[in-house]
Amino acid sequence: MIPRYSTPEMVAVWAPERRFTIMLEVELSACEAMEQRGEVPAGTSAICRERARFEIDRVDEIERTVKHDVIAFLTNVNEHIGEPGRHLHKGMTSSDVLDTALAVQLVEAGRLIREELSKVLDALKLRAEEHVETVCIGRSHGVHAEPTTFGWKLAILWDELRRARVRLDHAIEDIAVGKISGAVGTFAHLDPAVEAYVCAKLDLKPAPASNQVVQRDRHAYFFTVLALVATSIEKLAVEVRHLQRTEVLEAEEPFTPGQKGSSAMPHKRNPILSENLTGLARLMRGYAQAAMEDVPLWHERDISHSSVERVIGPDATVTLHFMLRRLRGLVAGLVVYPENMKRNLAKSGGLYFSQKVLLALVESGLSREESYSRVQKNAMAVWADGGWLPDRLAADPEVGGVLGAAKVAELCDLGWYIRHARTVQARVFAGE
């Protein structure tokens, strides 16, 4: 991922230095396990660990000749170890090293993402509680429906991202699998105890069964979970973008001192953070699709997945980590305009009271169809000519004459719609 959308912690997970360090640990741990089993001379693993080192430039130089990254890496390491280095990689295949190292990196990346996701949840909860009773119009199809609260909107997203964290935990557990089972995975030249030892040292589980690679459904699941987190982020971003439109202006991204919104128009304050998150979410879904394509490899393995994962491993995790950090700042700094919410509520002339009156007419003994017709007639008049729906209903003999003007006024109570807001938030956050 380009530096513009990167975070230093996540970039460090995918740095060549970190990758080679994990690969070296896989090789040295396997050597230790074999020594314990009497399969390499006593003292070999200690010598190898003491002498082992690598130089990234030297590995790259060797690879330009041998055209094989693991061989290049081992060649460079053995330049430092000397004769005992011949016992490294005994009975192993390249995917033993690469897949196990990749699992460690994905677990590390997943944990960083989880940490940032938890911070987003904290920020969302704080704002949801702040606006638990901040009334705003609810919209369906983009059209005024019935009142809700801004805190309700945020509580819904909090609950969605809480579920995302549960999925992420499972995806991290599912990807935390290594394999040291040799060519085509049959342990022909290795004992499963070596695999168990290496995986335990790296806090992984051995794959119950593998061919030459760890099966890529695990990776597809991991990247799909990341894409789903990104899509939930986009959901909030789209909401902010709509609410920041000049005609709505119920909420607005933070606009910091010195910030410029347009190179041409000095008045502009654009939802650039949300639009950025929307765009990055598109990339995340693309990474998930690429991971899906890696699942059906040929027979016991091919390496068509390798080039894909070298891109999507760093890019997807770096991107999502950046997105979560940006989202956290957006949520914490989001400017909310309750007075504009009240003005927007008034724009539809009380149309949102229609269902409450409809139900009261039904309870009075009218059929639902007749009740609907009488309320809708007045609602369409408000759409066409303006005015205040409760006033029209009270003056209509077919409505006010049935219910009474006082009853109509009582029914048209804004507080009725948000009376369960605190109960619902308590229920949502009880799942924390």
177-178 and 251-252: which strand pairing? unpaired
Q: Of these residues, 140, 141, 263, 299, which one is catalytic? A: 141
- What distance in Å separates the CA atoms of residue 390 and residue 357, rounded to the nearest whole number? 9
Q: What does the pLDDT look like over 12-67, one tens digit per residue?
A: 999 999 999 999 999 999 999 999 999 999 999 999 999 999 999 999 999 999 99
- pLDDT band at 265; cut points 50, 70, 90: very high
- pLDDT band at 247; cut points 50, 70, 90: very high
pLDDT > 80? residue 432:
no
- Dump strand ranges (E) for 184-246: 205-206
User: For residue 58, what are the contacts with CB-CB under 8 A and spacing of at least 6?
Assistant: 76, 79
pLDDT > 80? residue 323:
yes
Is 131 assigned a catalytic role?
Answer: no
Question: Residues, the chain, total?
Answer: 432
Query: Following DSSP, what letter does each residue of 110-171 receive, concatenated?
Result: HHHHHHHHHHHHHHHHHHHHHTTT-EEEEEETTEEEEEEEHHHHHHHHHHHHHHHHHHHHHH
- pLDDT band at 304; cut points 50, 70, 90: confident
Percent of the chain with pLDDT over 70: 100
For the chain, domain boundaries: 3-87, 94-253+262-342, 351-411
On whether the 94-253+262-342 domain is CATH 3.30.565.10, my answer is no
Same fold, 94-253+262-342 and 351-411: no
Is 141 assigned a catalytic role?
Answer: yes
pLDDT > 80? residue 176:
yes
Percent of the chain with pLDDT over 90: 96
pLDDT > 80? residue 351:
yes
3-87: CATH number: 1.10.275.10
CA 400, chain centre distance (Å): 51
Fill in the amino acid letter for 108: E
The reported pTM is 0.94
Q: Of these residues, 68, 262, 307, 367, which one is catalytic? A: 262
Which of 312, 37, 422, 116 is closest to 29 using CA atoms? Answer: 37
Class of the CATH domain delimited by 351-411 = mainly alpha
- What distance in Å separates the CA atoms of residue 264 and residue 244, rounded to the nearest whole number? 20
